[in-house]
Each structure stands twice: as structure tokens, then as C-alpha cells.
Structure 1
Amino acid sequence: MSSNKVEPKKKVPDDNEDNLLKSRTNISDLIHTVQFALIFEYCFGIYRFHIVNNGLQPTNRRMKLVGILIISAHVIFFYYFLKLPSAITGTASLVDTMDEVPSIVILLQYVTSAIMTSFLLSVGNINIFTTFANLDSMLHINTNQDFYKASRSRTFRYIIVLAVYHIIVSISDLLTSDEISLSKIIVLPIFFEENLEILIFCLIISMLKSRLNVINKYLTNFMNDKENSKNSVFIVGERKPAPKENFNLIGRMSYKNMKIRDLAVTYDIIGETCCLINQVFNFQIFMTLVSTFTYIIITIWTSLTYYRTPSANFSSLITIILWCITAIFKVAFMSLACERLLLTRNESKILVNKVIMDYDLPKPMRMQAKAFMDLIEAWPLRIFIYDMFSVDITLMLKYISVATTYLIVIIQVNHIVE
């Protein structure tokens, strides 16, 4: 009697499973580019998402609980070691009370932004990075590990520069102070956290800009290949392979070529991602401007009051100048990052217009370019602060103008009071 052995069926790989695996791999590489900055956020109890099996999920209860404990510890330290109780009872001088206002504003910003990021904005952060992973697949960035390596090195450099600068300013603050109190040491990490949040925002804007640069490179390579095909010269000799940077995603001219339309779709996704980034970081940008402006105004006022006394010394003035420069740098760095994104968008507009005006191209390709231009006009890629201010280079100029105006007002008021 023959025994029939039933062989196990081989599992045929599903296309959906392959796409899911590739998406998770892309997200893993993507998160790894900013992982160094996220680790610093974890130290302050800020969790944007939960990484599970190379996938992103909303923050769980354990992460939220740890975040609440870290935030509560900072609040308790502030309450016991700052001069807030004496400021409330009126036993502290007016200058000492005003000196503590920037620290209180920074604390409020830290608490509110940490709670909102971990509890309310987790889904928004997940959507941002998931969209970036989809863009990388559509633009064939996921096959280029050098792209992710450059992003990781850029994040590492920015974090190191921020840490070194903050350490230098903190040491100068402690050395030039009349007495090194525990309250000063507690406040310094919170100032670093505020700068870190702005840096992460700028890194995400830079990620958006780098993907828009990829679209511009594809458009540039297409136009260059078209011009080279007209002026082709036959040379006897070994042909050198074209470098990977000159990869032509659009391909050759054809009535059936729809690659320009595909690039327009990726730009549409970039526009939606920019809007999503605006929603996630809206409160953080607004509070940064408020805290920075409050710090500069109060610092100017206290310095004018303090340096009219005989006990003034030049070393304390250096510390005040350094912290004011740091506060202005935050706004400048944020404005510059958004301005560079706008310049890249303008470059895309110029390249698409060249395609439209090239009458040697087939009409369907030029019609695709016109639709692409409509999308560029529809998505200006601007970051707005609650629809009040546009974050670009003009914001920096307006900020300096307002700070200068208040400086003049404070000097006049201080002169009248005396």
C-alpha cells in the first residue's frame, strides 16, 4: 500500500506584502536619518510616535506616562528652585522678578509643546514620515542609500553644532554670574530643548526641500538629454557610463510619455506634506516667537536698569548679548530654512516653464507641464503662523524691526521714570 505524502504548499509572495515590507524599510531608513535628534527629545519626555517592527504607531500609554513624569519633574524643580514664590508674594525686587519671566515663558512652552506632541500630534507626525516614505518610493530615492547617508550626516552635524554652541553660552553664563545657583543649571536644559524643537522643524523642512530638489534634477536631466540628443556627436572610442545623478526619470519625448504627470503628482504630495508640517508645528513656531520676543524685551529692560547702577560689570553684559544673539538665531535659522524651500519651489517653477515653452516637445507632454504649473501655483509651500505671519526671510526683518521699536520705547520709558 503506497503512502501519499502531502507536501506543504509553498507560500507565494503577495504583492501587497512586498509593498508593505518596502514601505517599512523606507520608513526605517527615513527615521534613522533623524534618529539622533529624536533621542534628545526622549530625554525631555517628548515622543512623536512609537516604532514597532520598522513601522510607526501612535505613542502608547507607557511612553505618555514616562513623558508626564519627566515633565512633572521639570515643573517641580522650577517651583522649588526659582524665585517664583517670592515674586508672587512681592518680597523680590522688580528686576529679579522680571529676570524670571523668560524662564517661566520657556517652561510653559516646554510643557505645552511636550504634551501636545505626545498626546495630540502623534498621528500628524506619523503621516508626515509615512508620506516622506511614499515620496521616496515614487522618486526612486529609496534605492539610493547615499541620499539617506547624507541626511544622517546633516542631522548629526546640526545637533553637534547646536550642542557645542549651547555649552559655550551656558558656561559663559555661569562663569560671568555673581553666583552659580541651582536654578540657573535647571533652566539651561529647557533653553536647549526649545532650540532642539526648532532644529527638528528645520530638519523636516530640509527633508521636504531635498525631495523637491530631486524633482528639479529630473526636470533638468530631461531638458539636458533633449538638448544633447539634438547636438549628438559620434566619437569612436569607449563609451563612459552615465553617472547615477544624471538618471533621466522622465525618459524620451513621446506622445505616450506620462512621467511629467507623475512628477506633478509627487509635487502635489509635497504640497500636502508642507500643509501637514504647518499644522503640526504651528503652535511650536508661535510659542518660539512669543518666548524669544519676551526674552529679548525683558533682557533689554533689565540690562538698562541694571547697568545704570554702580555695580555693573562688563562680563554680565557679554552673557546678555550671547543669549540675545541665540534668541535671534532661532528665528533667523527657522526663517532661512523656509526661505530656502521657497527658492527651490521657484526653481521648479522656472524648470516647468521651460518645458511648457519648448515647442519641440509633443503636445501631451507640454499639457502635462501646464498642469504641473497649476499645481505649483496652487501650492506655494509657505509656512504660516496661524495664518497671520509667513515664515520666510521677511519675518526676520519684521522681527528685528519690532524689537528695535520696542527698544526705543523702553529706553524712553526708562528715561522718563528716572
Structure 2
Amino acid sequence: MDDDKEQDNESNTFKENTKTDIDPKQKIVEIINSVKPELIFEYCCGIYRYQLVDGELKRPNWKRRTIGTLIIMTYTILFFYFLFRDTDDDEGLNFMSTIDELPSVVVLFQYISSVVGTNFIFNSKSIRVITLLAEVDTMLEVEKFADFYKKISFGLNKVAIFLVVSHIVNTAMDLCSVEDIAWGITILPLYFLQRVEIFIFCGAVYMLNWRLKVINNYLKEFIKKQDKKNVTVFTVGDTKTKTDTTLNYIGRPSIRNAKIRDLATAYDNTGEICSLITDVYNFQVFLTLVSTFSYIVITIWTSINFYRKRDYRIRQLVNVMVWCFNMICNVAAMSFTCERLLVARTETRTLVNKVIMNYDLPKTMRVQAKAFMELIEAWPLRIYVYDMFSIDITLMLKFISVATTYLIVIIQISHFIS
């Protein structure tokens, strides 16, 4: 009974403010440490979102911005040098080769815009994302969960290792089939940078999904305890039940209990984080879709023309198929990551609705749940690309459908031309 009384709190929001000022800084440090793979990749690419100074996030200094600018300028010069270098006297072949490299130019533009936008424009929003995540972690008391940040870091590390290994395999296959080795060495890091940017975007959504799962777990535990109270159980003898207080966030129902309001506040911050992620990565996601679509269509079109030549080798066709599959996987990764966030949000809506429909609860708690439901409706947690289409599982299906339609048209046109 005493344990239940301890859970009869008004709110965590005011109690957290009485703690030391070190806690928010510690949360920020933990979050930064959990995304170290992303930061290492970004630093190697010349991308600097922020810098951690004494537990506080600040804008990158002029030295880091200068380094990022020099990296992108050096790579751009090398890119266009090898792109316009004369390698063949056949004008038709040179034309097809130039068309074939058009998707690479789009990816280069994506890389340049990412460096400029991240280093000079979106610093404040990137810092705000981490700060809000730290606030949400404080509200949800994630320190009660064992290895919360380590589990997030472990998941991101697995994806990072798979990303590097898969790109090394693709690079080895590509260098075995490409004729211009220098151009291959120049262009392959560019597509790795694109995959890194997708990985960073998915990582941000992945961290957001983890916080939403914590909210769902708290609601599940509360609903389960209320369901047990409505069931009469007859026992014989003395029994000792082990109670796990880790998920007992809401506690005992009472008029003064305002924990559901705290969860609603955490969800409100989650919705703001999702909006900031959309603003920061909107243009990058759009260019990823454009470059992927143009790569698939143009690469297969040029492959059809090269296939008619006598010196065409079957390993080139296999290499084209592998790279097209990898480009589709980029869209699939974004779609599935955002879809999991939408599934978690749907689960949150269902759980809050169960709390609202429980008429045995105090009216104040049901009113809090109704306000929570209004926040869920206000924040759909759906990431849109310039309000044109949302990133979910249907995006991948639409993308494959449109790409297939264009490929059929291109194949028919190539037959008429031949």
C-alpha cells in the first residue's frame, strides 16, 4: 500500500526542475554518445551539425565549417575533372556515358546542399532536436531502463557495420566491371555519402521511435494493472508476487495523479521533434528520391544501348542489377523506418483510447487522456516531403510502380529506335 501511495504524484514536470542542472547535460551527452557512428560518418564527409562543449551543444566553429567547405570543393573539382575527361572518340558513346552519369550529378548536388545546409543553415534546428530528446528522456525517466542508450547505440552500430560491408562488396564488384578505374574510385564514395545521409535520417527517426515505445510501455503497464483489479482471483496459501516498478510510471489512479499529462507533454515534444526532422531532412530526402528514380531509369536505358554492342559483358549487367537493387533499398529503408514510427503512433492512439473508455478511473485522469488524444490527432508523426507525399510503406510501392511504368516506355522507345 505504501508503494502505491508513493506513485500518487501530481506531476514529474515540476519535480524534475528541482534536480540539479547536471541532469539535462548528462542526457545530452548520453544521446550524443549513442549516435557516435553517425557523427563519425558525418565528420569524414565534412558535415558538422553541432559541437559538444562542456555538455552543451553549440554551433560548429569556423574551423570546422572551413574544413567542410574545403572537402566539398576538393571533391567537386575531382568529380568534374574525371567526368569531362575525354576517354573515347565515339561521340555517341560519349553522349550515352554523359547521360549515364546524370544521376551522379544529382547525388553530388545532394551532397553539396547537405554540407551547406547542415553546416550553415540548420544548426539551430539540429541542436533543438537533441535538446528536445533530452527533455523527453527526463520526462520519461529513461534512466530506469537498463542500458537504454546502449541498446540504441547497438542498433545503430549494427546498421553502420552493414552499411560499410555492403558498400565494400559493391565497390569490389563495380571496380571489376568498370573500364575507367579512376572514375570508379571517384564516383563510388559519392554513393556511399548518399547512403550515409539516409542512415542519418533513419537514425533520427529510429531514436524518436524508441521514445514513443517507452510511452506505449508505460500505458500498457497501467492498463494491465487496471484490468487485473477488475478480475477476482482466489488463491490458497501465502503468495508473494514480484512487482516490477520500472514500468509503473503512472501509478495508482487518483484525482491528484497527473502522470498521463506528463506522457502527453512528452508526446507533444515528440511531435515537435518529428516536425524539426522533417524541416532538416526534407530537401535531402527529396533529392534521394529524385536521384534514385533517375539512376534506375537512366542506368537501365543506357544498359539497353550498351547491350547491343559486341563488347558488352554479362558482369556489367549483373553489376547494374545489383546497384539498382541497392538504390531501391535506400527508399525501402526510409519507408520502413517511418512506417514503424506510424505503427507506434497508432498503438499509442489505441492505448490512450482504452484509458478514456475506462469509466472506473477518476474523471481528472480521463480528461487528461482526452487531452492526450487531441495531441495525438494534432501530431500525426507523418513525415512529408514538401507536402507532396508522405514517407511510409506506400511510398516504396508507388515508387516501384512509377519506375516500372517509365522503364516499359523506355524499352518500347528503344525498340522503335533500333
- What TM-score does the superposition give when structure 2 sets the normalisation length? 0.91
Q: CA deviation at 1:236?
A: 4.5
Residue 71 in structure 1 maps to residue 97 in structure 2: no
Q: Is this contact kept in 2: 1:268–1:379, CA < 8 A?
A: yes
Q: By how many angstroms is 1:17 displaced?
A: 9.8
**Stretch moving more, 340-349 or 228-237:** 228-237
Letter of the 1:173 counterpart: D
Q: Distance in 1 between matches of 2:357 and 2:92?
A: 73
CA–CA distance in structure 1, aligned partners of residues 83 and 213 of structure 2: 48
Q: Give the Cα separation in 2 of the matches to 1:121 and 1:49.
A: 10
Could you tell me how far apart the structure 1 residues matched to 2:402 and 2:256 are? 55
- What is the letter of the counterpart of residue 384 of structure 2? F
Structure 1 window deviating more from structure 2 (270-279 vs 72-81): it is 72-81
| Aligned partner letter, 1:45 | G
Deviations 1:134-166 (A, max 9, x none): 000000013435110101101110000011111
Q: Give the corresponding residue for 1:355.
A: 355
Give the secondary-structure state (helix, strand or coil) at the position aligned to 1:51.
strand
Question: Quick check: 1:255–1:364 contact (8 Å CA) kept in 2?
Answer: yes
Structure 2 residue aligned with 1:4:
none
Q: Which stretch shows the higher mean deviation, 122-131 or 235-244? A: 235-244
Q: Deviation at 1:214?
A: 0.6
**Structure-2 residue corresponding to 1:9:** none
Name the SS for the 2:21 alignment partner: helix
Partner of 2:217: 217
Shift of 1:269: 1.0
- Residue equivalent to 2:6: none
What's the offset of the Cα at 1:272?
Answer: 1.0
Structure 1 residues 365 and 51, CA gap change in structure 2 (3 angstroms): same
CA shift in 2, pair 1:84/1:406, >3 Å: farther
Aligned residue in 2 for 1:314: 314
Q: Does structure 1 residue 113 correspond to structure 2 residue 114?
A: yes
- Tell me the secondary structure at the aligned position of residue 56 of structure 1: strand
Say which is worse superposed, 40-49 or 139-148, in terms of deviation: 139-148
What is the deviation of 1:240?
A: 5.0
Distance 1:26 1:235 in 2: 47
The answer as to 2:56 corresponding to 1:55 is yes
CA offset digits 1:215-264 (Å, max 9, x no partner): 1111100011112233355564563543355x211111112211111111
Question: Structure 1 residue 406 and structure 2 residue 403: aligned?
Answer: no
Question: 1:20 offset after TM fit, Å?
Answer: 2.8
Q: Percent identity?
A: 46
Displacement of 1:50 in angstroms is: 1.1
Task: Output the aligned Cα RMSD.
Answer: 2.0
Residue by residue over 1:160-195, the C-alpha shift from the partner in whole angstroms, topping out at 9 and shown as x without a partner, is 001111111111111123x35211111111111100
- Measured in 2, the distance between the counterparts of 1:318 and 1:241 equals 58
Check whether the contact 1:26–1:142 (CA below 8 A) recurs between aligned residues. Answer: no
| 1:41 paired to 2:48 | no
Q: Which residue number corresponds to residue 129 of structure 1?
A: 130
Aligned to 1:7: none
Check conservation: 1:124, 1:276, Cα contact below 8 A: yes
8 A Cα contact 1:84 1:100, kept in partner: no
What is the alpha-carbon distance in structure 2 between the residues aligned to residue 300 and residue 383 of structure 1? Answer: 30
In 2, Cα distance between equivalents of 1:309 and 1:161: 36
Q: How does 1:17-416 map to 2 (within 5 A)?
A: 19-83=20-84, 93-177=94-178, 179-231=179-231, 236-237=237-238, 239-243=240-244, 245=246, 247-416=247-416
Contact 1:205 1:337 in 2 (8 A): yes
Greater RCO, CA 8 A, separation 6+: 2
1:290-331 Cα distance to aligned partner (Å, 9 max, x none) = 111111111011011111222222110110001100110000
Question: How many residues of Structure 1 are paired with residues of Structure 2 in the alignment?
Answer: 401
Q: Secondary structure at the match of 1:251?
A: coil
Which amino acid in the other structure matches residue 411 of structure 2? I
In structure 2, C-alpha distance between the alignment counterparts of 1:226 and 1:172, rounded to whole Å: 58
Which one-letter code corresponds to 1:119 in the other structure?
A: F
